[in-house]
């Protein structure tokens, strides 16, 4: 099923939702509850839901008594090992209210490049969904290296959406939509709809996030949205606080219309054709 309009969102068969570190860690850890409420609502009406959640390193930082995000790989891996455990516990504790069970899926960029690993990941997630389990996907930061990382979970979310042939991808952040320029700048205008093939000419897209704990920004989200839309998955880019409205099909955030057919998608230049390990090439191919 291809979702062409927001009104079809409540009938989506399969939905991938991505949330960033800044939205569910630190002072914003309390947003996990409302996020789970929205996911449970979609799950309850029959949709199969996958959550791609950043936040392992950010969640682990306080437990390592660090003052900020570590810059060396070994400490990042240590923070991820601690934080991933706490993060999954927080999600499951909230999901218990709806009697929904979470399944943890940790991936590396190498897994998505390796046909056998990719097939195994797809099979596992398909089976989890068939069993009405809610998969929670994150990059496996404990074993990932700087050279083979996804770079941000927006791109991971797009790849997961393509892997499971999702109808809808929802990219969440601390900004409510895509704007013509960084939203804090004077004259910035909200973009409500990006049609298939729109080139976003004249739009100033920042490359950094607004927080100090995440690695993505507007650039990575637009790149991920393009990547998914080119393969037929509709995309909504909006704020974490608006996830419930987005999953009900209300007019929030920015809607990226999917390619109307596989033939049309093949005519475009797709970021999915870029090597998984080359984040810059993937972004350049889609903007």
| Domains of the chain as residue ranges with CATH | 6-286 (3.40.1160.10)
Which residue pairs, CB below 8 angstroms and at least 24 apart, start in 266-273? 268/197, 268/230, 270/227, 270/230, 270/231, 271/158, 271/223, 271/226, 271/227, 271/230, 272/158, 272/159, 272/162, 272/227, 272/230, 272/231
Structure tokens at 192: 């409500």
The per-residue pLDDT for 201 is 66
Task: Please check if 207 is assigned to a binding site.
Answer: no
In this prediction, what percent of the chain has a pLDDT beyond 70?
81
**CA angle 59–14–8, rounded 5-degree value:** 115
The per-residue pLDDT for 202 is 67
Structure tokens at 3: 């979702």
Task: Please check if 221 is assigned to a binding site.
Answer: no
Residue 18 has pLDDT above 80, yes or no: yes
pTM tops 0.95, yes or no:
no
Q: Report d(CA 226, CA 8) in Å as an integer.
A: 20
Structure tokens at 147: 């050279």
Q: Report d(CA 117, CA 276) in Å as an integer.
A: 14
Task: Please check if 173 is assigned to a binding site.
Answer: yes
Q: Report d(CA 283, CA 96) in Å as an integer.
A: 38
Mean pLDDT confidence for 11-36? 94
Cβ neighbours of residue 38 under 8 Å, at least 6 residues apart? Answer: 243, 244, 246, 247
Mean pLDDT confidence for 170-198? 88
Tens of pLDDT, residue by residue over 218-253, are 788 898 999 999 999 999 999 999 999 999 999 999
The per-residue pLDDT for 236 is 96
Tens of pLDDT, residue by residue over 94-124, are 999 999 999 999 998 888 889 999 999 999 9
Task: Please check if 153 is assigned to a binding site.
Answer: yes
Residue 29 has pLDDT above 70, yes or no: yes
Q: Report d(CA 192, CA 134) in Å as an integer.
A: 29
Compute CA distances 65 → 70, 74, 83, 88, 177, whole Å.
11, 15, 12, 20, 34
Do residues 185 and 31 touch, judged by C-beta distance below 8 A? no
Tens of pLDDT, residue by residue over 127-173, are 999 999 999 999 888 887 664 456 578 999 999 999 999 999 999 98
Minimal CA–CA distance to 108: which of 61, 70, 158, 142? 142
Return the residue matching tokens 């007019």.
251
Structure tokens at 177: 């939509």
According to DSSP, the residues that pair with 137 across neighbouring strands are 52, 105
Task: Please check if 167 is assigned to a binding site.
Answer: no
Q: Report d(CA 271, CA 93) in Å as an integer.
A: 36
Residue 150 gets which letter from DSSP?
-
Do residues 275 and 69 touch, judged by C-beta distance below 8 A? no
Task: Please check if 174 is assigned to a binding site.
Answer: yes
Residue 197 has pLDDT above 50, yes or no: yes
The per-residue pLDDT for 145 is 65
């Amino acid at each position: 099923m291809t979702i062409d309009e927001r009104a079809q969102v409540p009938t989506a068969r399969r939905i991938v939702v991505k949330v960033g570190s800044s939205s569910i860690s630190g002072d914003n850890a309390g947003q996990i509850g409302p996020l789970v409420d929205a996911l449970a609502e979609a799950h309850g009406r029959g949709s199969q839901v996958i959550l791609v959640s950043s936040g392992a390193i950010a969640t682990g930082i306080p437990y390592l008594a660090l003052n900020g995000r570590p810059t060396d790989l070994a400490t990042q891996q240590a923070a991820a090992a601690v934080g991933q455990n706490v993060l999954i516990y927080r999600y499951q504790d909230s999901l218990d209210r709806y009697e929904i069970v979470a399944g943890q899926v940790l991936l590396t960029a190498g897994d998505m490049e390796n046909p056998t690993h990719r097939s195994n990941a797809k099979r596992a997630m398909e089976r989890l969904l068939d069993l009405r389990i809610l998969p929670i996907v994150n990059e496996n930061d404990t074993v990932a290296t700087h050279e083979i990382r996804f770079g941000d979970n927006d791109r991971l979310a797009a790849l997961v959406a393509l892997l499971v042939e999702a109808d809808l991808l929802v990219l969440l952040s601390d900004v409510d939509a895509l704007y013509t320029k960084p939203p804090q700048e004077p004259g910035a205008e909200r973009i409500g709809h990006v049609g298939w093939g729109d080139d976003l000419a004249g739009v100033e897209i920042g490359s950094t996030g607004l927080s100090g704990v995440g690695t993505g920004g507007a650039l990575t989200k637009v790149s991920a949205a393009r990547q998914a839309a080119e393969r037929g998955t509709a995309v909504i880019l909006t704020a974490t606080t608006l996830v419930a409205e987005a999953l009900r099909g209300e007019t929030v955030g920015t809607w990226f219309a999917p390619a109307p057919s596989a033939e049309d998608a093949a005519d475009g230049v797709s970021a999915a054709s870029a090597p998984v390990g080359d984040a810059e090439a993937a972004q350049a191919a889609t903007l």
